[in-house]
Amino acid sequence: MNAAICVQGLSKHYKDVRAVDNVSFDVPQGHCFGLLGPNGAGKTTTIEIMEGIIPATSGQVHYQGQAVDSNISQQIGIQFQHTALQDFLTVKETLSLFSSFYTKTLKQEQLIELCDLSDFLNRDNRLLSGGQRQRLLLALALINDPNIVFLDEPTTGLDPHARRNFWQLIKNIKAQNKTIVLTTHYMDEAEQLCDDIVIMDKGKIIESGTPHQLLSKHFQEIFIYLPKAQVETALAHEQGWKVMSDRVEITTANVEKTLALLMHHKVALDGLHVKSANLDDLFLKLTGHSLQA
């Protein structure tokens, strides 16, 4: 396989902490790769080693077969969570400033179109909305026309509409065959965008694969929810259903059989909700807690 990124046996040890403990994975060219995990799992440390920002204790990172060296910043793009933007500069001026840092750059018109910046090009950086700021930061990550783009929680703090707009931009970038490494605390984002995901916990990889592979491996069941008032507690206990404060949660591998049972017991089906497992459920199952704090 022609991997854009190959991470082999990566470890980072601090005095008494194994922040990253023998982690290996490949990212194929043109894929969106999601690195997920609870706080302190080792994601930032892994990514900072991949970006050449901190050295590994052991292990290697190769880009298209080449080891990371000091020249790597010219070849990759990074959207940091907290990039400080220069006050009193407009978006257009900021693009020009950042262009001057690189030997090879994308044409400004292309960046403006790709990141949908045209409506606020002459606005001072300080006056940008959260979504506009993230679009500018994305443009800055793409300014050197990198083959590989790192996006660190790019939609944290955005409203649902701005998040969806941003997802479309990421899809557009992916359509250009660029490789994307994404960290996110939003499982719906990972499900929408990622071809492959790796879930880390305590410095180690605990699961990896496509979202579909992981969900079908871990969940054969479907969830059925019913308002609590409609289900007799005795029946719920008898069937081993989970009684929550406002609803009863039924986990079943056979929806038809469960519905027939509910009807047999004359349970009203108003407000019934059927749900397949998603990455949130997977995350909870694997790590014991939900990713979104």
Rounded to a whole number of angstroms, the minimum distance from the CB of residue 40 to ligand ATP is 4
Rounded to a whole number of angstroms, the minimum distance from the CB of residue 36 to ligand ATP is 9
d(CA 287, CA 187): 14
Q: Are 140 and 98 in contact (CB under 8 A)?
A: yes
Binding mask 35-74 for ligand ATP (x = CB under 6 A): --x-xxxxxxx-----------------------------
Q: Are 216 and 276 in contact (CB under 8 A)?
A: no
Helix (H) or strand (E) holding 83: none
Rounded to a whole number of angstroms, the minimum distance from the CB of residue 50 to ligand ATP is 12
Residues 6 or more apart whose Cβ sits within 8 Å of residue 275? 222, 223, 224, 225
Nearer to ligand ATP, 17 or 259 (CB): 17
d(CA 278, CA 211): 9
Candidates 51, 9, 1; CA nearest to 183 is: 51
Rounded to a whole number of angstroms, the minimum distance from the CB of residue 34 to ligand ATP is 13
Nearer to ligand ATP, 152 or 281 (CB): 152
Residue 78 interacting with ligand ATP (CB under 6 A): no
Place of tokens 């045209």: 118
Nearer to ligand ATP, 37 or 146 (CB): 37
- Written as six digits, the tokens of 213 are 């592979």
Dihedrals φ, ψ of 11, to 5°?
-135, 145
Binding mask 8-37 for ligand ATP (x = CB under 6 A): ------x--x-x-----------------x
Nearer to ligand ATP, 81 or 90 (CB): 81
Nearer to ligand ATP, 19 or 72 (CB): 19
Q: Are 195 and 210 in contact (CB under 8 A)?
A: yes
Chain residues in the site for ligand ATP (CB under 6 A): 14, 17, 19, 37, 39-45
